[in-house]
A and B are shown apart, each in its own frame.
Chain A
Amino acid sequence: MKFCKRTDLAVIALILALAGVFYTLHSARQKETAAFAEIYYYNTLVETVALTTGEERTFSVKEAPNVLFRLYKDGAICFFSSDCPDKICVNTGLLSEVGQMAACLPNGLVLKIVSLAADELGADIAIG
């Protein structure tokens, strides 16, 4: 007895092809890991900054005009200056990797690096 007919083979080939397409699309989606910086003011997202534009600029958010952020050409970002008493936010330095975060507690600001797509190679959280 033959295991299967030619049409059966065609059906199997079609299903495997479909599986391949699904897998490729899924993998492509996983690899979209362009990073963004998100700026929160007391837990409300007030600014999203693309880190891959290659531009260099200093800016603030309207909720805390006395705090300056600086974006660098290489995609790093930081608290550049602040009127807070301890300057821990500025001392935290440059952030560039998904999972990194800095905060200016007296001004209610959190700056964090996120990836808008699933990033299986990045960090969930960063310390140090």
Chain B
Amino acid sequence: MKKRMLAFAALLLMGLLHACEKPQQKFETEFIDLFDTVSQVVGYAADYKEFSKFTKKLHEALLEYHKLYDIYNSYEEVNNLKTINDSAGKSPVKVDKRIVELIIFSKKIHSQTNGLVNIALGPVLKIWHDFRTLAAENPKEAAVPEIALLKQANEYTNIEDVLVDEAASTVFLRYEGMALDVGAIAKGYALERVCEAFEHAGYKSILINLGGNVRAIGAGQNDKPFRVGIKNPLGGKFLNIIAVRDRSLVSSGGYERYYMFNGRRYHHIIDPNTLCPSDYFEAVSVLCRDSALADALSTAIFIMDYESGLALINSLEGVEALWVLHSGEIKYSKGFKAFIVN
């Protein structure tokens, strides 16, 4: 009898010791030198050394994509998107296959979204970027570009004139005046490719936020999904907290990159049909496995009406979305609420 009791006590004590066992610790870090935005990494590891070893590798991988997809800066011995833009109308540019793959993916998305996500819209986006920068530096000088100027720039935004030779790994913009701008796609695409590589390498519990593009590798502590809060663009508490495991969650909205003119907000998400900032929603979020797709779709459904956006989301397997209307009302796709945990 005593033996049985001792065994029972030992089992209980083992249980207690297990409960008090030091778990994998949670660590966080930020990068401020990637894709003109702030990135955040959350992960579980045995110690900080293990975590920082991972984040160093992650930063190196993302930095390579950052340099390749940069449209503003040149880098030694790197032909990037700026090189392609600078060579518009002159000659094809031999580039890394990661640029070729991005452009092929972007063309597919262009077709899937009826042209709403267009990486050739650079000339129009540059005008808005310049007006936004001017207004931020000197609010008294704020203005809105003339529609004639925007239409003139729009003459050079046909994605069919972005010529890709996959075999030769070259890209050529057929006319001078054309320019690529991959702001609606590049962060999500780069993040997806990098996360895939880390998944194959065996990493299991990492959450990355690359400027509003969140991607989870595995889940959090004790195999519970990571918790991602969606900010309410109209202020106050989170709209929702979403359970994310091996998925991506991307938000788009006009509440950070904008300027004010005559009491109206002019943000950075431009509708290729009107050549002006889209005005359907305060914000949208897309939830799906692939971060590249989530990034592109979040831009696409931000610049189409709710019914068209819902139809697009419903046509794709494993994709969910939410829309925040100007009134504060929130609309969800059919399966989105299953991921809400608050």
Contacts and interface: CB of A to CB of B under 8 A. Distances in A.
Q: Do A and B associate with each other?
A: yes
A74 B15 CA distance: 42
Contacts of B220: 124
B230 A128 contact: yes
Interface in A86-128: 86-88, 91-94, 96-97, 99-103, 105, 108, 110, 112, 114, 118, 122-128
B241 A110 contact: no
B253 A128 contact: yes
Interface in A3-19: 4-5, 8, 11-12, 15-16, 18-19
A126 B228 contact: yes
Given A15-B13, A92-B256, A97-B229, A125 B40 contact: yes
Contact of A125 (B1, B136, B209): B209
A61 to B, nearest CB: 15
B235 A8 contact: no
B212 A128 contact: yes
Interface in B280-300: 283, 285
Interface in B248-262: 249-251, 253, 255-258
A125 B226 contact: yes
B239 interface: yes
A26 B255 contact: no
Interface in A46-87: 85-87
Interface string B219-230: 010000011111
How big is the B interface, by class? 35 or more
Given A85-B136, A103-B38, A128 B231 contact: yes
B32 interface: yes
Nearest to B36: A105
A113 B225 CA distance: 20
B241 A123 contact: yes
Most chain A Cβ neighbours within 10 Å, of B1, B37, B38: B38
B283 A128 contact: yes
Interface string B229-245: 11111010111010000
A26 B32 contact: no
B228 A11 contact: no
29 contacts: A4-B5, A11-B5, A12-B8, A26-B19, A43-B30, A85-B133, A87-B136, A88-B256, A91-B258, A97-B237, A97-B238, A99-B227, A99-B228, A100-B229, A103-B37, A105-B37, A108-B32, A110-B32, A122-B227, A122-B229, A123-B227, A124-B227, A126-B229, A127-B229, A127-B231, A127-B285, A128-B230, A128-B231, A128-B239
Interface of A: 4-5, 8, 11-12, 15-16, 18-19, 22-23, 26, 40, 42-43, 85-88, 91-94, 96-97, 99-103, 105, 108, 110, 112, 114, 118, 122-128
